[in-house]
Structure formats: structure tokens, C-alpha cells
Amino acid sequence: MSLQYIARDVRLILLTIRYSVTSLDTSLDPNVTIAKFKAQKWTPLKIAFVACNILLAAFWVVLIPSTFLKILIPTAYITAVLLPITSQFVVPASPIFIWLITYFTSRVLPVEWRPRISVTLLATLESVLFGANISDILTRFTHPVLDIVAWLPYGVVHFVGPFVVAIFIWLFRQSAALKYWGFAFGYLNLLGVIIQILLPCAPPWYEIIYGSIPANYGMLGSPGGLARIDKIFGTKTYTGTFSTSPIIFGAFPSLHAGCSTMEALFIGHFFPKYTVAAWIYVGTLWWATMYLTHHYLIDVVAGACLAVIVFFLTMPSAVKGSGSTQRSEAFMAARQAMGLTGGSRASKYEQYDLERRANHSGMRGLSADSNSSRDSMDAGPLPLSSIRPPNPDPNPTGGPGGVASFQAQQARSHKHTASIASLIHANDRVEEGWSPVVSDFAAAEKIRGAGPAR
């Protein structure tokens, strides 16, 4: 790729960012949000769904020991929802906020409410289902290079990836796609954390350190293989983070595997060009979770399956089919400003300027075009000026009105290009003494006398 194309793509991205930012709602009037709220079609199912989310969030807020936070969190959320400038981000991200408050507040859940921790369940299931303890096999050989390779997706990209996916969807795809991302990603993690709370299981590092000794909620967590990363960089970042994690025994399901799978599904759905790269990252992270002794293979499989289920169950109809690659208004405006062709690849009707009947009846809709093509052929050879390549640039100069003039040009040039339709309806022309496959009228006369094959 030449520097010219790289510069063009960079300019296009910067222009898309500019248009995306300028298109944001900057209003501070709560009445705007209230009007949108009233305009919603509130079905019983939607009301029940919203009520369940509110009750769940309220449950965790009540458990927070700090009275200040009990007041601050709901007040800040309600204010952010009412103001249009913030509600456009906060409302789609509400499932993510519920997941975060569930995760961080679970540490104050009374011990008498919590179920017993399973120490051997996952290791036993893995041996039964896969014939061996896969995670144990993967940790028998370690090396600083492998540690770095495992650390990058597990300890870095995992936390940055969701923001990158969200930004790209916001910039280059329709608004429904971003709402879908916040909904699916949030509820994937929320369901995963709830399962971890209801089914606490010890990860592989516990077996390495404590064996089969019964676990309790007073134990500190362990960074597992990430302790080697702390040693390499001379820090205690992961040791301190995992030792005081809100959910120490949250091995099942693996949300590292679930999040990476969800990201790959979204990239493959909305940006198919990068599908292979996304799944390479997923495979590397799956390996890293076991190599670093944080998950068993069964945890990884469960997390991936949960991501697939949530992805397809929550997919709105607006992003299915061709909606998956529908570009954002900001991206289309940026392309138009740079004089680039907008939209997706033109269909065969657009390429050859053939009109499609309103009832979409297929090739039969071109029968009227064959008549006009006969008139154009009788009028003599076409002038060279009437010949134009497929997919002309609708706005070569980038000036205003380019798209409208292009559509008008399509309508004016129709009778010159409709001869394509006459080739499609060659059987009709045979009866007039013409055939596209023979050069003399005598042969055509024989074909006409023979009649159509039955």
C-alpha cells in the first residue's frame, strides 16, 4: 500500500471522527430525554425487563457499606440518564454498569449467603470430558518468551479490546450496532459473574498451591502465572490485583474467553475482513488462560458458549443481513466530502443501468427494457460519448449535488445501455429474425422455424 493511500485512509478516519463528534447531542435539557422516554413503546415484557435490572442494581447498592456511595451512585446514574449529552452513552451502557456494580460489590456479600466452594469439580470434569487435565499439561513448560506472549492478550488486550471494538462500531457502523454491543457485552459479563457467584470453583492455581484442601472465602487470591510477569518487570501489579479480587473463586465460566469470543463474533459480523485476525487473538487468549493457570479448558469452553448464546439471542433485526455492514452517517459523510464513492458495492442493476420493477419479479421485470433496446439498435450505432464504465463515481469532484446528478445521468442514459436486456431476452428476438449466437439471418430463420424446445 502506497503512502498516498495510507494518507487518504488516515484523513478519512480523522474526518469520520470529526463528523461523529459533531453529530453528538450536546443538549442539557432533561425534557428532551423525558420526551424520548414517553415516546417508547412500553410493552409488558419491556417493563418487566427494566424492572428486573433496577431491582438487581438496587440490591447491590443496598449492600454497599458506605452511605455516601449509596447516595452517590444512583444520583449520578439518574442525572446522567436525564441529560441528553450523557444519556446517549449511559443508556446503551447500562448493562455494563450493572455488571460492574455486581462484580465489585459481591465482595461484601455475607458469607452465610454464599454457596460452598468446589475445589475438585472442574479438574474432575475436565479429565472426564477431555481425557486429561489440559491446563496442567500446558503449564508443565514455561519460558519468559511464552510468558510475554500469554500476558499480552490476557493482561493487556483483554482490558483494551472492548473499548476498541466499541469505538470502531461507533465510527463506522450504524447506531443500532453500538447499542447491540453494549447490550450483548454487558449481559454476557453480568450472566458470567452471577454464575461465578452461584457456582464458586477453584482455579488451577489453587490446586497447585493448596492441593485438595477445602477453600474458604477468607483466602487471598493468586496471580498464577502472572506472578512471573511481575518478576520480569519488577512490579507487584498483578499480585496485588488478583490477591484482593472481589471474586477469588470465579473460574467457571472464563469471562476472558467469553469476552474475546464476543469481540471476535462482533468483528466477524460487522467487519468481516478482519475475522481471521480476531479469531487468532481468541485462540491465543484461550491458550493464555490455561498457561497462566487461571482457567481449566472446561471454563474456556463454557465462556465461549455463553458468548455465542448471548450474541445470537440479543441480536436485533436491524443489524442482520445487509444491516451488518450498513455504514454510519458520519462515515458516509466523510467519504462524500473526500469525493469517494459511498455505500456498498453496486448491484448488477446499478452497474448496467437496468431498471428493477417495483414488484421485484426478477428477470421478467426487464421485458419492457428489451423493447427500448430494439429502438436504440434501430437508431444506428451508439456514439462513443454514450459509453461509460460500470460504477461511475457519483461525485468525482466532491462538490454538492453529486449524488443527485449521478442519479439523473442514470435515468438519461438508460435507453443506450438497455441493450444488455435484449441479450437476456434473446429468445424473443429470434422471432424477429435476429439471434445473438449466429451472424446471418438465414440461420436465424431456421431457428425461428424450429420453434422453442419443449
Q: Give per-residue pLDDT as tens, 294-331.
A: 999 999 999 999 999 999 999 999 999 888 989 999 99
How does pLDDT run across 233-284, given as a tens digit for each residue?
A: 999 999 999 988 999 999 999 999 999 999 999 999 999 999 999 999 999 9
Grid cell at residue 90:
449511559
Tell me the DSSP string of 401-447: THHHHHHHHHHHTHHHHTHHHHHHTHHHHHTTT--TT-SSHHHHHHH
165 Cβ contact list (under 8 Å, min separation 6) = 181, 263, 266, 267
DSSP structural state of residue 385: G
Top-confidence range, 238-242, 288-292, 348-352: 288-292
Cell of 71: 447516595
Reply yes or no: is the peptide bond before residue 392 cis, omega within 30 of 0: no
DSSP string, 3-47: HHHHHHHHHHHHHHHHHHHHTS-----HHHHHHHHHHS---HHHH
Can you tell me the distance from the alpha carbon of 369 to that of 413, in angstroms, rounded to the nearest whole number? 13
Q: What percentage of the chain carries pLDDT values higher than 90?
A: 57
pTM: 0.73
Express the helix, strand and coil content of the chain in percent, nearest 5 each. 70, 0, 30
For residues 374-383, average pLDDT: 43
What is the CA angle 444-449-454, rounded to 5? 105
Give per-residue burial for 216-237: e unless 16+ CB within 10 Å, then b: eeebebbbbbbbbbbeeeeeee
Task: Give the number of other Cβ atoms within 10 Å of residue 135's Cβ.
Answer: 26
Sign of the Cα pseudo-torsion (252, 257, 259, 264, in order): negative
Amino acid letter for position 311: F
